[in-house]
Copies of this chain bind each other. A is one copy, B any other.
Amino acid sequence: MPRTDIARRVYNHAWKLDPIVRSLLDTDFYKLLMLQMIWGMYPKVDVTFSLINRTSSVRIAEEIDEQELREQLDHARTLRFTKKEMIWLGGNTFYGHKQIFEPEFLAWLEDFQLPEYELSKRDGQYELEFHGPWMYTTLWEIPALAIINELRSRAAMKPFGPFALDVLYARAKAKLWAKTERLRRLPDLNISDFGTRRRHSFLWQRWCVEALKEGIGAAFTGTSNVLLAMDTDLEALGTNAHELPMVLAALTDTVEELKQSPYQVLQDWQRYYGGNLLIVLPDAFGTTAFLRDAPDWVAKWTGFRPDSAPPVEAGEKIMAWWREKGVDPRKKLLIFSDGLEVDTIEEAHRHFHGKVRMAFGWGTNLTNDFEGCAPKEVKGLNAISLVCKVTKVNSRNAVKLSDNPAKATGDRKTIERYLQIFGEKDRVEHLVKV
């Protein structure tokens, strides 16, 4: 038998583009949930998404080639939802519900295409923006981030020979497996993959997801990545993101409307979804402010996802609020998803086990932890805090305050104004690593 498949080898060595994103389902599930609501209720709102590199010491535009970036973005724009994907979206059960997506929405989605982008370089960074109707620009967030992160990995690995690469992945696999061994010891653990946007690469994310599936069994409840959920028969997980309160806040005209906008988001949401999808994301303009002004009915929602304060502190604050509202936290759900690592998962689990239902959405440290794995340490393999955020709504500035001032985004003056309205209480700066 011949030792080499010549055709495969010629193909491998001659191709022009190795597409990073090959399906519009290669995105977070919550983007589709939000999209249905945006399409249904806010089809005329224009929203700009902008790339923001919070790890400004890393000069991305010097790491990755502009032409390669454009080719990847252009390729993503050629994608459409395929027939198989449409049938799966329409026929699959999500969060226990059949037909979570309306037929009219799916009919519209069939023709969906990612809109144009604007790309330039400034001071070692890429300025990447997506302008246009919210219901189009919103779907750029995840592929844009996944593309840039994988291009960084590729650039970092370019000098590596085959053995260096073999060792790199061998170590990364061993490292992840050691994490699963620690996680396996936690009783009643519920953990899922939230690592699409920050992943090292698509294939690596797939490996991580499949390894968790084998490594921790039923404790691994699913993935936010729709494509991987479809391909590996896992649950597609995710609820909603900061872009909802950010956009709805920017659309308000009065201070009173602005203060009510975080609850308007919840009212909109429950027109579309119920059950385990009724998860409050309280920190867009500060969790303390959110809880202080929240109507009682918010306590009836299934749970909260504190996303920018340390889990124990944020969880205790929400549980206290539930108790205040006469609700038993043991019937409620907290979803932790902010920069998790096995240490913080263990700590939160130890603290909350038996006191509240818990779930973990594990992102960057699941799908992009190569620290100490490369035979020669290269900076480009370290994950960075790269986000793609709403910055404009129609012609107004959109901002996020967050519980951690280091995670605030947007125009400084608008932030000041929002701070005056929502208050600054309990906002504490924490280092944002990823």
Contacts and interface: CB of A to CB of B under 8 A. Distances in A.
A14 interface: yes
Nearest to A9: B203
A109 to B, nearest CB: 28
Interface string A143-163: 000000000001001101110
Interface string A45-71: 000000000000000000000000000
Nearest to A14: B158
Contacts of A154: 10, 13-14
A12 B13 contact: yes
Contacts of A14: 154, 157-158, 160
Among A2, A9, A10, A170, max chain B CB count under 10 A is at A10
A138 interface: no
A120 interface: no
A6 interface: yes
Contact-residue bracket for chain A: 20 to 34
A203 B4 contact: yes
A9 B8 CA distance: 11
Interface in A155-175: 157-158, 160-162, 165-166, 168-170
B8 A162 contact: yes
B201 A165 contact: no
Nearest to A18: B13
Contacts of A203: 4, 6, 9
Contacts of A15: 13
Nearest to A12: B12
Nearest to A168: B7
Contacts of A88: none
Contact of A165 (B10, B158, B162, B165): B10
Nearest to A8: B162
Interface in A13-29: 13-16, 18
A411 interface: no
A378 to B, nearest CB: 13
Nearest to A17: B13
A171 B7 CA distance: 11
A297 interface: no
Given A14-B154, A154-B14, A204 B6 contact: yes
Interface of A: 2, 4, 6-16, 18, 154, 157-158, 160-162, 165-166, 168-170, 201, 203-204, 207, 210
Given A8-B162, A14-B154, 11 more contacts: A6-B207, A7-B165, A7-B166, A7-B168, A8-B165, A10-B157, A11-B165, A12-B12, A12-B13, A14-B157, A14-B160
